[in-house]
Structure 1
Amino acid sequence: MAAELSPIDQAKFVAARRSVDFVESGMKLGLGTGSTAAWMVRCLAERVRDDGLEVTCVATSTRTVDLARSCGLKVVSLDDVKWLDLTIDGADEFDQNLNLIKGGGAALLQEKIVATASDRMIVIADAAKEVAQLGAFPLPVEVVPFGWQTTKALIEETLYSLDVLNREVSLRMAGDAPLRTDEGHFLLDLNLKRIGNPRQLALVLNQIPGVVENGLFIDICDVVVIGQGDGRVTVRDINSGRIENGAVDITESRNIFADLD
């Protein structure tokens, strides 16, 4: 089954596999949302099953709750544990300073709450997610449904005073209706092409009435684990400056692939 994975899925898998090496028994963990995070949940469950690891998990979406519990992981609410040792999540983009764009999976609000309530955040990603400058991936902004068109207009007006290349804003849809997040909000996707000052943009967006949160994660990520399609993995620690190169043997993970139908 492992041989049938595409190179991009292999890259996501090896990043996820390497990231769970950071997990220690007794930890309280934040579990991210998205395709790469889903690999991590399965890898973590395999460690719990095979190594006797004991962990308590907080998920960042109903999708991750369902997946984690189906894999046999203990999932509680953030209010139950108050604070976490570690959060592992994916990203839609990251730069050399480990600033992130997240929210492609429509879970940015809970993801940011969980990541901020953690001692450390590890991001897992394939190599294509690394960019010189954020902005090619549309920036999600979570907004309340009431007056969302006014909020959209205010965002568009505000963007003219900021260092971005494009100012196209669109409502994310789910079929014929607006997509709703787990919190019942809408998502506006900002197609900016280039974000010159992510920190400034994040602060300004959150001052606009109707905006709940934006998908820029600034000074939150501590470590990024970057996977390659051939099994190579790079671990980069922004705090220590340490870079570690290694590899994951995909053929040793038959159990996790056997679970995928």
Structure 2
Amino acid sequence: MTGEMSPVDKAKYVAARRAADMVQDGMRVGLGTGSTAVWMVRRLGERVKDEGLQIKGVPTSSRTAQLAREVGIEVVSLDQAGWLDMAIDGADEFDGELNLIKGGGGAHLQEKIVATASDRMVVIADAGKEVETLGAFPLPVEVVPFGWQTTRTLIEEALDTMDVLGTSTALRMNGEAPFVTDEGNHILDLHLQRIGNARQLALVLNQVPGVVENGLFIDICDKVVIGYGDGRVEVRDINEGTIETDQPAESGENLFLDIVD
């Protein structure tokens, strides 16, 4: 697989590796959900095995919890951890102010709780996730199953008053049945195309009866680690106002040698 990775997968891998290497011994770490987060969890597992790294991981989904246990990370609940030193997670979109759309994997409720219970939220993403304005990726909204069609109607009415280009909504499906989150809820994906005022939209959506949480992460992310297909990594810190760039490994050092199927 070392030579078979696409540029996007390489970008995800180097971003995940860079963020995982920020974790220090003794930390309590929120473990995100999604394709990029998988690389991060695996890298942390390598560090636990090879370096004796001792951390407590708080997963944001049952999928992540299973993987973390498989790679040797001690898994605890958020209530057991109390407060986290860092949360590392992916994003479906991020803008220049590090506002995010998350929830493509259906775990944004737990992800938002974990992120806001952390001293720092670090987002890992390939460069293609950066956008000038949020909204091209469908915005996930978790809703309770009871009366979900009424909730959908109320959301659509609210969207008519918002600064968005599109107002269509769709119930997320898993084959022939509605997708069900870890909390037993459904997800409505809002196809908005462009979100003019993400902060306002997030507040309005969470006022709709039946809405549990939306996938807009506003003023939550502290740092984004961006991977590129050539192995470059850029780290942007919104609080410090800094940008660091790591160049690809020299030809004699292949970061991808430890990747296995």
Q: TM-score, normalised by structure 1?
A: 0.97
Displacement, 1:247? 3.0
Quote the residue 1:254 is aligned against.
257
State how far apart, in whole Å, the 1-side matches of 2:255 and 2:189 are.
40
- Displacement after TM superposition at 1:82 (Å): 1.2
Structure 1 residue 242 and structure 2 residue 245: aligned? no
- Aligned partner of 2:254: which letter? T
Q: Where do residues 97-246 of structure 1 align in structure 2 (5 Å cutoff)?
A: 97-246=97-246
In the TM superposition, what is the alpha-carbon distance from 1:253 to its structure 2 partner? 4.4
> Aligned AA for 1:5?
M
Residue aligned with 2:66, SS: helix
Match of 1:95 in 2: 95
Supply the AA of the counterpart residue of 1:76: V
Q: In the TM superposition, what is the alpha-carbon distance from 1:4 to its structure 2 partner?
A: 1.1
Task: Give the aligned residue type for 2:68.
Answer: A
2:86 aligned with 1:49, yes or no? no
CA distance in 2, matches of 1:83, 1:215: 22
Q: Determine the structure 2 residue equivalent to 1:67.
A: 67
Secondary structure at 1:118 match in 2: coil
**3-state SS, counterpart of residue 25 of structure 1:** coil
| Structure-2 separation of matches of 1:155 and 1:121 | 29
What is the letter of the counterpart of residue 210 of structure 1? G
**1 CA distance for matches of 2:169 and 2:161?**
15
CA positional deviation for 1:52: 1.6
Compute the displacement of 1:132 (Å). 0.1
Ranges in structure 1 where 5+ consecutive residues have no aligned partner: none
One-letter amino acid of the counterpart of residue 164, structure 2: V
- Map Cα deviations across residues 13-63 of structure 1 (whole Å, 9 max, x no partner): 000011012110000000000000000001111111112211000000000
User: Is the partner of 1:187 in helix, strand or coil?
Assistant: strand
Q: Which amino acid aligns with 2:241?
A: G
Q: RMSD value over aligned CA atoms?
A: 0.9
Residue-pair matches, total: 258
CA distance in 1, matches of 2:234, 2:31: 21
Which ranges in structure 2 are unaligned for 5 or more consecutive residues?
none
Alpha-carbon shift at residue 125 of structure 1 (Å): 0.2
Q: Flag as ranges the 4+ runs of structure 1 deviating above 2 A.
A: 247-250, 252-255
CA distance in 2, matches of 1:174, 1:187: 11
> In structure 2, how many angstroms separate the alpha carbons of the residues matched to 1:66 and 1:56?
14
Q: Distance in 1 between matches of 2:185 and 2:9?
A: 30
| Partner-residue secondary structure (3-state), 1:97 | coil
**1:203 CA displacement:** 0.4
Taking the aligned partners of 1:86 and 1:228, their CA distance within structure 2 comes to 23
User: Secondary structure at the residue paired with 2:212?
Assistant: strand
Separation in 1, partners of 2:248, 2:17: 7
1:74-105 deviations in whole A, cap 9, x for unaligned?
10111111110000000000000000000000
- 1:2 Cα shift? 1.7
